[in-house]
Amino acid sequence: MDAAVSELLSFAVLFAGRAFNYSLLQSTAKQSYSVSDGDLAKLGSLRKSNPHKADWTPMQLFLESQVARLAHDKFGGAEQLQEHQRARADAKLQSKLRRREEEKAKEKKEAARLARIRQRIEGERAAAQGGGAAAEASEEEEI
């Protein structure tokens, strides 16, 4: 079987002399269309060696039309897909803001703890110096 025909059959796409562009990478498909690995596993794909380094995981290429159809079926249309992506972006932003607030609260708590420790050390130092001067004065009175 011809290599080009076997590649097209791996996508299970009927074609009538049309050239298909199967250049949508798995990571791009997941980001652009908000589909999961499980959703993409249902589609046919083409594996090519990674052009950056041969030892790395091979690239997995999908037909953009199939991924777009899958996303349309999953979300019910382009508007719902955009709404889903906006909701995910909002959730991500809220998570970052919450983490930032938690970090600030943690830093503030740590600064307060260090201030209490410094105050206690200064108090002990003052008591030791004050107590030492009082002890010297009492020794002079005894003599």
| All structural domains of the chain with their residue ranges | 1-76
| Chain center to CA of 7 | 34
The 8 Å CB, 24+ separation contacts for 120-127 are none
Average pLDDT over residues 26-50: 89
pLDDT tens string 104-142:
999 999 999 999 999 999 999 999 998 655 555 555 555
What is the model's pLDDT at position 45? Answer: 85
The reply to whether the predicted model has a pTM over 0.75 is no
Judged by DSSP in three states, 52 sits in coil
pLDDT tens string 43-90:
888 888 888 888 999 998 998 889 999 999 999 988 999 999 999 999
Q: Which residue has the higher pLDDT, 20 or 41?
A: 41
What is the model's pLDDT at position 130? Answer: 81
- β pairing state of 24-25 and 59-62: antiparallel
Which residues have C-beta within 8 Å of that of residue 12, sequence separation ≥ 6? 44
What is the model's pLDDT at position 44? Answer: 85
Average pLDDT over residues 91-114: 97
What is the model's pLDDT at position 54? Answer: 87
What is the model's pLDDT at position 83? Answer: 93
